[in-house]
């Protein structure tokens, strides 16, 4: 049995609430056949998560450099994936990586804000005012 490739993954954790700890950076070595979140936790890191199956975006990161493979990232549109966002709970490293944690509300806004934000959904509804 061959040994999986390993990659160096640097994770910048942004504080999201006033009670969160200050910004911190972790660097770990992750085998290419392990989910990054799962492996980081096995190394004692505390990272944001909720569903653990690629649906909720709590574990979303922006990729600053490198590549991931995330075929199960259902919670992230292909457009956002192409813009460099990833879900660590279902991401495999495919190179050395540097990533930054994201606010899940910001990611939601990026995905859906242009459809549901600022009342623009009214464009699809009949309005009586006219």
State which of positions 50-109 bind ligand FES (CB under 6 A). Answer: 50-52, 54-59, 75, 87, 89
Segment contacting ligand FES by CB under 6 A, of 2-10, 13-21, 43-51, 108-116: 43-51
C-alpha–C-alpha distance, residues 54 and 56, integer Å: 6
What distance in Å separates the CA atoms of residue 124 and residue 127, rounded to the nearest whole number?
9
Question: Phi and psi of 114, rounded to 5°?
Answer: -75, -15
- Contact positions with ligand FES (CB under 6 A) in 1-30: none
Rounded CA-CA distance 5/91 in Å is 15
Q: How far is the CB of 53 from ligand FES (least distance, A)?
A: 6
Segment lying near ligand FES (by CB under 6 A), choices 10-18, 24-32, 49-57, 122-130: 49-57
Interface with ligand FES (CB under 6 A): 49-52, 54-59, 75, 87, 89
């Amino acid at each position: 049995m061959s040994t999986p490739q390993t990659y160096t993954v640097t994770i910048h954790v942004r504080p999201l609430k006033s009670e969160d700890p200050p910004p911190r950076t972790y660097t770990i070595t992750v085998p290419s056949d392990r989910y990054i979140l799962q492996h980081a936790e096995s190394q004692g890191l505390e990272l944001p998560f909720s569903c653990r199956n690629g649906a909720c975006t709590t574990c979303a990161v922006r990729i600053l450099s490198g590549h991931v493979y995330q075929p199960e990232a259902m919670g992230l549109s292909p457009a956002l994936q192409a813009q460099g966002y990833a879900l660590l709970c279902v991401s495999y490293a495919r190179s050395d990586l540097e990533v930054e944690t994201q606010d899940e509300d910001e990611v939601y806004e990026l995905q859906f804000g242009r459809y549901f934000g600022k009342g623009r959904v009214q464009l699809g509804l009949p309005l009586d005012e006219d």
